[in-house]
Each structure stands twice: as structure tokens, then as C-alpha cells.
Structure 1
Amino acid sequence: MQRQEAADVKAWRRWSVALTAFLAGTAALPVRAETILFVGNSFTFGAHSPVMRYRPDLVRDLNNEGIGGVPALFKTFAEEAGQNWTVSLETSPGKDLAFHYEQKRREIDGRWDVVILQDYSTLDAQRPGDPTRHAEAAGLIASMLRRANPRVRIELVTTWSRADLTYRTPSPWRGKPIDAMADDLAAGNAYALRRNPEIAGAIPVGQAWNRAWRDRVADPNPYDGIAYGQVDLWTWDQYHASAAGYYLEALVVFGKVTGYDVRRLGEQERAGRDLGLDPRVVGRLQAIAQAELTQAIP
């Protein structure tokens, strides 16, 4: 009996060692190749920042404009995480989703695994905050994409509050708290999701910006100076994002799409270094993104 038990223990140990070695080996392998398409405007291609021309060789720009943008940050994170994504983008400045459906169908109509849709910064340029046009265009694009791949996963990006529309320029958000616009945009995406249940969900970029202000990682009012130790998520026009703002956007998108804990990328993450971000800021932005995703994802 004792001999049999000893043999069983040895066999179990050999099996355990073999299993551990197998798992260690497979953990180092990249996941199967998947395709992702980003559709959007300057908030996706990284206008007014070095993100716009960041590593364009990593991605396929369907308009052949040499854009890297947030999609190239996504691809960089994927490489670091050992994930094999083929990343494409179709972007145009100042345009909404209706434009992409009406004018760019030839470029975006295809078989994709994941598609990220980012609309105009106020949802509707003529009626800021009204989600009707946004929901309709998102639905049309979703239906088109599902004909090519019924299993495509489509996500809507909830963008950020604009400082110019909150503090200076007449708008529905003038004089309101800085987080109000992002919350209204999130409500607009919620409306679009109710109208289009085939769309998987929304990516809470604007809510991550709100969290960065609440946690004093970022300064909420660039017009009165940037507080010491905080970053400005906007660029010079107080409308588009800075490198830090786009970096936070990319973290939230990557974490939502892949389920990867973006804190694992670490303070020395390559894109953050390439963009000249303080490693401490990189770590804090990763923590902000992950905290928002943990709250947003069931």
C-alpha cells in the first residue's frame, strides 16, 4: 500500500511539473490573430499631438494618410501584452458617424472581429447633445457590419468633456461642472445602445477623464493654470486631447476590448516613454483606466 501511495505521489508530481511547464509555455504565446477597425475623427487619430503620427507602420490606415493615432497605441499595448491584433483605422477630421456611413462605406464594409465607433464630440454638430442622429448612424453601420460578420463586436466610444465648451464658448454645457458633458455623452451612448441592441456596449473614456479630475491626477480647468503635480488632458485648443489624454483614451479602449488589466503594462510602458510622459503619470493613468473599467464592466 505504501509503495503504491509513493508511486502515486511521484506520478502526480511528474504530472504537476509537466502541466506547469505547459502552462508557462502557452502563457508566453500570443493569442490568435484578431482584426479590429477604428472608425472616428480627430479624437481617434490624435490631432494636435504626437500621437497622430505615432508608429503608423503598425496599423493600416484605410485612407492612406499615414495616421498612427490611438489605434497605434492600441497595437503597441497589444504587442507588450503578447496579443496578436491586426489594427486598421478609417478617420476623418470633424466628421460624425453619418459621414462614415454615407461616404466611407467602401472602406469600412468588411469582415472585422471588433469595430470601435467614435462619433462627433457633441454627438450632433447642429444640435449638441441630441443623440438621435448618433444612434441612427451607429445602427446603420452596425447592420452593415453584421451582414459581413454576424458575430462582429461593436463598441461605441464615450468621449470627454470639452473645456472650451464648458468654460468659454456658448454651449449647453457652459457654466456646468466639467464632468457634465461627458456624462451627457454617456447618456447619449446609452440611448444609442437601447435603440441598437446588436451593439455590444460603450467604452467609458469620458468617465475615465472625469475620474482623473476627481482623483487629482489631472487638472479640470486649464484656463486658470495647471496645478503642480497634475497633468492637462487637453491640448492647446482645450478641445482635443494632449498626449496624456489620448494615452488615457487608448488605455481604456484596450482594457475594455481585451479585458487586460492595463496596470500590468507598467510605468515603463513603451508608448508612454515614446510620448515623453512622466513614468509616474503613466502609472497613474493606467490605474485610473483600470479603476474605471472595473467599475464599468460587470
Structure 2
Amino acid sequence: MKYGHGIWFLIGAAALAVAPAASAKESAPAPTAAGATSAPTKAAPKTILFIGNSFTQGAHSAARNWRAGTVTDLNNAGYGGVPALFKLFAEQAGLDYRVSLETQGGKSLGFHYDERRQLFDKAWDIVVLQEFSTLDRAKPGDPSDYMRNVGRLASLFKARNPAVDIRLAATWSRADQIYKSGGHWYRKPVTAMADDLRAAADRARSSTPSVAGIVPVGQAWNRAMTTGVADPNPYDGIAYGQLDLWAYDHYHASVAGYYLSALVTFGAITGVDPTTLGAKEKGADELGLSDAQAAALQGVARDTLANG
């Protein structure tokens, strides 16, 4: 879905042609054995699977086990995280999704394929893949294994459902990798790591044509920092009125960071403008974000999606 100049359009009322009206015989509900008419069949919910690690789980924040009962954790570990936020956003938008997750902290996509694929080797409507934060633990920034594992997973899911919608989540810059000596992105701009992760996701998508698109989480974090919604450096104190998107370890996300991640995921998958959720959105309230903070993060998500 295209978002031109940040303006969202609803399409559907202006049909170019109208099908002839069905006859009374054709449109009448089928009678039941008792003579009563049957109710219209309700469409089945879309299925969506999240595969990832602690960044999908919502680790080191109140989001981790929040509303875990609304989603299916294939490992029975009790996580809610980003998938549970997605589920609540969809419900508030009037959309029906059956949400599942398969996660393991500190692991790459290769681990999930090699060790866990029996848990998710079936047909899904949508799959979101989230790679390890530095792509390769031994060789930070190297996308080689990422690209190979995206290809393996995509082949598995396409075999089960040729129409599956596969997305790659491009995650955020880690402050510890930017500001601490020894970090692979040390002394580079805070946006650099997220930009590199996005470039790797773009490469993986190009090498695996069955991947439908990128979920630009890292770009939303960058936008939040460059527009003054979020503080870019947690090591020198947090500026008044700005959000800290990182957790206490300056690695994982805070509630605000996961909330922004889920907003971008929701908008990218559904095509719904995240700002339509409104400042009184339930998840923000339950997780302790103010109305103003929720609205600001929703605006960042909308603008990020509008600009690709």
C-alpha cells in the first residue's frame, strides 16, 4: 500500500463496474432441515506467525508477558510482547487475526529453522521474521547467514502456502553498540546501525523474491530520535520531554520502544494508519504510556511507513 505525502486513503467506494443483481432465488439463504435459513458464514481469521528472539518477546520490559493469553506461544513460554500488541491493535481496528509466535532469546533465524521448524512447518497467511540484532554474533554486520536463512525459511513457508505474505523486521540501533568502545558501530551516528540492518533486509528481500516486504522498525526509531520524540543517547541523560526507547541495558527496548515496533508492524501488515488507534489506545494505557506519548509514537510510525 502506498502512502503519498503522509496522507492515507480508503479505497473501495468508487467501483468501476457493478455486477448484476442476483435473482431472489440466487440471493436467498439456503433453508435448513427444519425450514429455517442458515446464517452467513463468517470469514476465518488471518493467521500470522512471528519468528524472532528477545526483540520480538518484549524482553526487559513490562510488555514481555503482557496479554500473553491473547496469542499462541508455540514454545509455551508465556510471552506476549510485540505479537500481543499487534493483536490488540488489530482488534481495536476491527480486524481478526490469529496470532502466534515462536521465539528464543539470543538466537538467529538459522536456529529456528534448524531446531524449531517442526513447531511452525504448516500453512500461514503472514509470517514476520526478525533476525539477531547484529545479524551475525561472530561477525557483526555480516548479512551472509541472514540471507541464507531467510531463503530457507521462505521456501518452507511457500511450500505450505504459495500465497504466504513474508515480511522481514529490520530492527533498531543498539545504544551499547554505538556509544561503548568495542561496539561494531562505535562512534558512528546513532542511526547507522539501524540503516545497516535495513540494508541487509533489503538485500535478503532481493535475493529471496518470495519476501513481500520490510517492516521498517529501525527507521521508525531513527525518525523518533531525529524529530525529537525520543532521546538519541541514553548514556548522557534523557532530555526533558523525550522518550527513552531503550531498556536499562541500552540494548533491548523499553515499553515505548516495543510499542513503536508494534505500531510499525501493525501498519505495515494491515495497511491501517497507526494514528487511527488514537491517543487513548488501550495498550499504551495498560503499559503506562501517556496519551501524548502514544499519539507521538503513532505519528512516527505513520510517517515512517509513508516514507518507506
TM-score (norm 1): 0.88
CA offset digits 1:258-290 (Å, max 9, x no partner) = 000110000110000000001101000000000
Match of 1:122 in 2: 134
Match of 1:67 in 2: 79
Q: Counterpart amino acid of 2:229?
A: V
| Aligned-partner SS, 2:51 | strand
Paired with 1:127 and 1:282, the residues of 2 have a C-alpha distance of 36
| Aligned-partner SS, 1:51 | coil
Q: Counterpart amino acid of 2:297?
A: L
Match of 2:288 in 1: 276
- Alpha-carbon contact 1:117-1:156 (below 8 Å) kept: yes
- Note if 1:157 corresponds to 2:169: yes
| Aligned-partner SS, 2:142 | coil
C-alpha deviation, 1:50, in angstroms: 0.6
Q: Give 2:193's match in structure 1, choosing from 177, 181, 186.
A: 181
Equivalent positions of 1:222-237 (< 5 A) are 222-237=234-249
Match of 1:50 in 2: 62
| Aligned-partner SS, 2:269 | helix
Match of 1:170 in 2: 182
C-alpha deviation, 1:32, in angstroms: 5.1
Match of 2:26 in 1: none
Match of 1:216 in 2: 228
| Aligned-partner SS, 2:307 | helix
Match of 2:274 in 1: 262
- Alpha-carbon contact 2:223-2:304 (below 8 Å) kept: yes
- Alpha-carbon contact 1:138-1:192 (below 8 Å) kept: yes
- Alpha-carbon contact 1:262-1:289 (below 8 Å) kept: yes
Paired with 2:74 and 2:86, the residues of 1 have a C-alpha distance of 17
Q: Give 1:241's match in structure 2, choosing from 253, 276, 300.
A: 253
Paired with 1:88 and 1:45, the residues of 2 have a C-alpha distance of 12
| Aligned-partner SS, 2:168 | strand
- Alpha-carbon contact 1:33-1:86 (below 8 Å) kept: yes
Match of 1:251 in 2: 263
C-alpha deviation, 1:169, in angstroms: 3.9
Match of 1:84 in 2: 96
C-alpha deviation, 1:172, in angstroms: 2.5
| Aligned-partner SS, 2:211 | coil
C-alpha deviation, 1:31, in angstroms: 7.3
Percent identical residues: 53
Q: Counterpart amino acid of 1:200?
A: A
- Alpha-carbon contact 1:37-1:90 (below 8 Å) kept: yes
Q: Give 1:192's match in structure 2, choosing from 171, 183, 204.
A: 204
Paired with 2:121 and 2:214, the residues of 1 have a C-alpha distance of 21
- Alpha-carbon contact 1:38-1:115 (below 8 Å) kept: yes
- Alpha-carbon contact 1:48-1:242 (below 8 Å) kept: yes
Structure 2 gap segments, 5+ residues each: 1-41
Match of 1:101 in 2: 113
CA offset digits 1:81-103 (Å, max 9, x no partner) = 00000000000000000000000
C-alpha deviation, 1:39, in angstroms: 0.2
RMSD across aligned positions (CA): 1.0
Q: Which structure's residues are more often helix, by fraction?
A: 1
Equivalent positions of 1:1-20 (< 5 A) are none
- Alpha-carbon contact 1:32-1:83 (below 8 Å) kept: no
Distance 1:99 1:262, change over 3 A: same
C-alpha deviation, 1:190, in angstroms: 1.0
C-alpha deviation, 1:201, in angstroms: 1.2
- Alpha-carbon contact 2:176-2:183 (below 8 Å) kept: no
Structure 1 gap segments, 5+ residues each: 1-29
